Amino acid sequence: MTDQRSQAEIVRQSLKRRYRKERRFRLYGIVAIFIALASLFILFADIIGKGHTGFVKTTITLDVTLDSETMYLDDPTDQDQIAMADFVAPIIAALQDHFPDAEGRAARRELGRLVGSYAASDIRDLIEANPDLLNTTQTMEFLAHDTVSVYVKHADDPSYSIRLSEQQQAWVDELLEKDVIDTSFNDVLFSRGDSREPGNAGILGAIVGSLFTMLVTLAISFPVGIAAAIYLEEFAPQNKITDFIEVNINNLAAVPSIIFGLLGLAVFIGLFGMPRSVPVVGGLVLALMTLPTIIISSRAAIKSVPPSIREAAEGIGASKMQVVLHHVVPLAMPGMLTGSIIGMAQALGETAPLLLIGMVAFIVDVPDGFFSSATVLPVQIYLWASSSEQGFVELASAGIMVLLAFMISMNALAIWLRKRLERRW
């Protein structure tokens, strides 16, 4: 008894020190979680901070007099005349209405640089389509030049450099006051393909490219993945071949994605002679890449169907295949769908293998099929992020926001499906 008493005393004395250690250990855990969550927060805040201006475009609204004399254009139906005509002149003239003192070649040139380089073709397209508009005055909205756009959106941001002359800045300030220069929702972003000019570039081409690519990926990886999972769970005999397949799947799940790009380059493009830069090849490569994810999650879903269901069906004389197709697969479907959606979300964000199969090309047109040259959303972000033009940074961030929105909604769908359809046995 005395022994026990003195031991208890020793224990009591050690407690303070041990609890201090306990608290410190717990604190380490909290700090670790805090760092991880803070990184997530900073990442999102950074991207939103950089990208929210990407959803805003800067426009200049002018009353343009489509004077045939200033444009050197008498007959808009004559292609030669259209090709030679000066469509910038009416814009400069309209700007000069606001600034009568801007005289001379230099001033005119500076004025002309307030609007984007596509402004002239806007006028040309208008006149080509409606020749009667010649010699009338139209109110037209032009995209501002990128330097103007940067000045309007980021004048206070030191990470942007303002490339407008003093004079131009004064003009822009005045036009802003008069509401001639205005900012509004950037519909261009969602209605066009890539462009050399940030103001004119959009992600529609990349979104459509991603869509085509994902359709190919889904069409291949979903059925093949589920069939493979069914085989491995239900039919595979216990032998070396099965083991080999399983080891292969587990390893493929951890092979770096860029290796799949090498595979696509050597096999699909090199061996089969498929074209570069097309959604079909991208989709095939991503399908092979997501296959292990889908197989692994589908197997887990099949495993979770209780044996009693199988036994019940077998008990009334259903064949193994009937048991699987009529009972097991329908019951495992929610789990399989969830896994597939998560796999597709991964594939949607994948960039590296697509670089190797040529989906990094500069493509202006929105792709119109599985075999037309295309790029995808993450690659478009990569291209913009590595561009030296400063206006592309906000577009890249805006693209990231769109990409993340897609991925979050896919994951939310997966969670919803799981909650809604999953059965607990």
Name residues contacting other proteins, limited to 215-274 (CB under 8 A).
223-225, 227-228, 230-232, 235-236, 244-245, 247-252, 254-263, 265-267, 270-274
**Binding letters toward other proteins, positions 94-133, x by CB under 8 A:** ----------------------------------------
Is there a contact between 376 and 352 (Cβ–Cβ < 8 Å)? no
**CA dist., res. 170 & res. 79, Å (int):** 39
* Helices vs. strands in the chain: H and E counts, helices first: 18, 3
Give the residue with the Cβ less far from other proteins, 165 or 248: 248
CB 400 to other proteins: min, Å? 5
Contact with other proteins (CB under 8 A) among 3, 80, 101, 177? 3
Token couple for 258: 């860029």
Give the residue with the Cβ less far from other proteins, 21 or 105: 21
Give the residue with the Cβ less far from other proteins, 127 or 206: 206
The residues in 12-31 that bind other proteins, with binding defined as CB under 8 A, are: 12, 14-15, 18-19, 21-22, 25-26, 28-31
Local structure of 114: helix, strand or coil: coil
The residues in 376-395 that bind other proteins, with binding defined as CB under 8 A, are: 378-379, 381-382, 385-386, 393
Give the residue with the Cβ less far from other proteins, 190 or 370: 370
Give the residue with the Cβ less far from other proteins, 22 or 103: 22
CB 297 to other proteins: min, Å? 14
CB 313 to other proteins: min, Å? 14
CB 401 to other proteins: min, Å? 10
Helix axes 104-112, 166-177, angle to 10 degrees: 60
Residue 364, interface with other proteins (CB under 8 A)?
no
Token couple for 332: 């495992």
Edge to edge, the sheet with strand 137-143 lists 137-143, 56-65, 181-185
**Amino acid (1-letter code) at residue 229:** A
CB 320 to other proteins: min, Å? 8
SS3 content of the chain, % helix, strand, coil (to 5): 70, 5, 25
The residues in 171-210 that bind other proteins, with binding defined as CB under 8 A, are: none
Whole-angstrom CA distances from 215 to 165, 272, 276 are 49, 21, 18
**CA dist., res. 139 & res. 134, Å (int):** 13
Q: If phi over 0 gives left and psi between -120 and 50 gives alpha, with beta otherwise, what is residue 270?
A: alpha
Q: Which stretch binds other proteins (CB under 8 A): 62-70, 191-199, 318-326, 328-336?
A: 318-326
**Amino acid (1-letter code) at residue 353:** P
The residues in 340-359 that bind other proteins, with binding defined as CB under 8 A, are: 345-346, 348-352, 355-356
**CA dist., res. 171 & res. 231, Å (int):** 71
Residue 155, interface with other proteins (CB under 8 A)?
no
Is there a contact between 246 and 293 (Cβ–Cβ < 8 Å)? no
Residue 321, interface with other proteins (CB under 8 A)?
yes
**CA dist., res. 145 & res. 58, Å (int):** 8
User: How many of the chain's residues bind other proteins (CB under 8 A)?
Assistant: 99
Give the residue with the Cβ less far from other proteins, 152 or 347: 347
Is there a contact between 123 and 96 (Cβ–Cβ < 8 Å)? no
Give the residue with the Cβ less far from other proteins, 135 or 319: 319
The residues in 33-92 that bind other proteins, with binding defined as CB under 8 A, are: 33, 35-37, 39-40, 43, 46-47, 50
Please name which of 369, 406, 350 lies closest in space to residue 280, comparing C-alpha atoms.
369
CB 199 to other proteins: min, Å? 20
**CA dist., res. 105 & res. 88, Å (int):** 13
